[in-house]
Structure 1
């Protein structure tokens, strides 16, 4: 007797540098979800059942070097991450998809839509790291050059929790906080790679080159709210939706409102 399936299906595809892990749920129009750094496809766990119930086929890879995906060879870049996402669509015979990215994933999604508009029906950029060139250079210079040391007293295990507390003021979902810290600990060797890709990417120029419908999605309590508003003001041709409150864990905190905003744009 077959056992009932619980949660998304999981799989791997082969890339030149290793394997890419992904989660898949539902059937219907395809939505490709690209997570923030240093999370994984578990970022969307509260949204999977809602999207599946709405008749959406969700594909959610772990960015190379995060979750259960192998890192890419060479210096990380938005182009390389977009190439990995495109490889997943190719491997699963998906000709076109709505692509949604959050934070680092928004940069990857933007590059995928800019470079391969024939594969992207719509773009949702959720929490847009719309920094100036000066800001990007400054933030890039602050990134560590090597993985944190392992100390006998285990204090390095507390540092991700303390850092997550600092950047998630007003959090309400302890489970999401815990999950994210565990994910940070799992990728200590590659945690900063995604930030390199973000800070070396000219998002302002890329947004001007987009030829697919795009939505800027944000919430008023998240850390990239103000820079997302800056992107909205600089690109009035793009659609814009903001949710009230929340943090960068908005999918966990307000899954119903978040899914509704995404579906409205996908089907509008």
Structure 2
């Protein structure tokens, strides 16, 4: 695996890649980074793909926009990165917040997407949107007694029912602590976007990928049922840390669709 920086709309964008062959761009859930795909990158590379995982601007090691940007803003900013990478129409996989960006890009710029994988689709009902709106939407200010550290841990515990992978939990809490002033931006942009028009407009061959233990499983099933022409695959159990929990099964589901 190698790392790189590219000049983007709001500054530098950090990424990592592995392998050669057809390109697969991977967009992470927020407030994480492209590091969420580290367990799968060598598997995707071994399957014959050039797997590229970006840090969304404002997350990981990528420079942030001046204010929380919208999903369409992030999709448009991604076009600059596709050009910098020399990618005309790569396959694109987006996980949770990344799925919103990927779907919006595919809906508005169909010529720039090969196959599309929406991994955990935030197509939320009003009740689901209200539930996620109860999560903390404020900076994580450092406290002299270190209580902000346990607050970050508690926040992710609440967002991860059924979790079992301690290294993954630790890794992803440290991602929150890397950007304490803006880790909550991902929730803001996700809950501010209605992806219904995007789902209707997508023309790319699409797979909805989920797993039965994750918090967007029901929403993902609804999205797949909404588009009868789309494929649907669900892995057993797991949480939204499925790439850490089941990297082999996850990568196999991805490559099976891309090779179909």
TM bracket (short chain): over 0.9
Cα distance, 1:144 vs. partner? Answer: 5.3
Partner of 1:241: 233
Partner of 1:266: 258
- Which whole-Å deviations, capped at 9, do the CAs of 1:21-47 have from their partners, x for residues lacking one? 111111000000000011111100110
Partner of 2:207: 215
Are the counterparts in 2 of residues 96 and 119 from structure 1 also a CA contact under 8 Å? yes
- Which whole-Å deviations, capped at 9, do the CAs of 1:172-215 have from their partners, x for residues lacking one? 32111110000011111111212222112221221011111111
Partner of 1:171: 163
Cα distance, 1:16 vs. partner? Answer: 3.6
* Matching of residue 68 in structure 1 with residue 61 in structure 2: yes
Are the counterparts in 1 of residues 9 and 80 from structure 2 also a CA contact under 8 Å? no
Give the root-mean-square deviation of aligned CA atoms. Answer: 1.7
Alignment counterpart, residue 45 of structure 1, candidates 35, 38, 58:
38
Partner of 2:150: 158
Cα distance, 1:83 vs. partner? Answer: 2.2
* Matching of residue 228 in structure 1 with residue 220 in structure 2: yes
Rounded to whole Å, the distance in 2 between the matches of 1:233 and 1:266 is 20
Rounded to whole Å, the distance in 2 between the matches of 1:16 and 1:164 is 30
Rounded to whole Å, the distance in 1 between the matches of 2:54 and 2:43 is 18
Partner of 1:21: 14
- Which whole-Å deviations, capped at 9, do the CAs of 1:102-158 have from their partners, x for residues lacking one? 00000000011111111101110001111135754x468646564133221110111
Rounded to whole Å, the distance in 1 between the matches of 2:68 and 2:182 is 11
Structure 1 segments unaligned to the other structure (5+ residues): 1-7
Partner of 2:119: 126
Are the counterparts in 2 of residues 26 and 55 from structure 1 also a CA contact under 8 Å? yes
Are the counterparts in 2 of residues 12 and 20 from structure 1 also a CA contact under 8 Å? yes
Rounded to whole Å, the distance in 2 between the matches of 1:46 and 1:141 is 30
Rounded to whole Å, the distance in 1 between the matches of 2:25 and 2:14 is 13
Partner of 1:12: 5
Are the counterparts in 2 of residues 128 and 231 from structure 1 also a CA contact under 8 Å? yes
Rounded to whole Å, the distance in 2 between the matches of 1:41 and 1:16 is 18
Question: CA distance change for structure 1 residues 103 and 202 in 2, over 3 Å: closer, same or farther?
Answer: same
Between 23-32 and 85-94, the greater mean CA deviation after superposition: 85-94
Are the counterparts in 2 of residues 35 and 105 from structure 1 also a CA contact under 8 Å? yes
Rounded to whole Å, the distance in 2 between the matches of 1:46 and 1:71 is 25
Structure 2 segments unaligned to the other structure (5+ residues): none
Rounded to whole Å, the distance in 2 between the matches of 1:229 and 1:103 is 14
Cα distance, 1:80 vs. partner? Answer: 1.6
Rounded to whole Å, the distance in 2 between the matches of 1:117 and 1:107 is 15
Alignment counterpart, residue 257 of structure 1, candidates 249, 252, 260:
249
Are the counterparts in 2 of residues 76 and 194 from structure 1 also a CA contact under 8 Å? no
Rounded to whole Å, the distance in 2 between the matches of 1:81 and 1:231 is 22
Are the counterparts in 2 of residues 61 and 85 from structure 1 also a CA contact under 8 Å? no
Question: CA distance change for structure 1 residues 18 and 174 in 2, over 3 Å: closer, same or farther?
Answer: same
- Which whole-Å deviations, capped at 9, do the CAs of 1:46-103 have from their partners, x for residues lacking one? 1011011111001111011100001113441111211232222100111111100000
Rounded to whole Å, the distance in 1 between the matches of 2:21 and 2:88 is 13
Partner of 2:76: 83
Rounded to whole Å, the distance in 2 between the matches of 1:175 and 1:40 is 15
Q: How many residues align?
A: 260
SS in 1 for 2:148: helix
Partner of 1:5: none
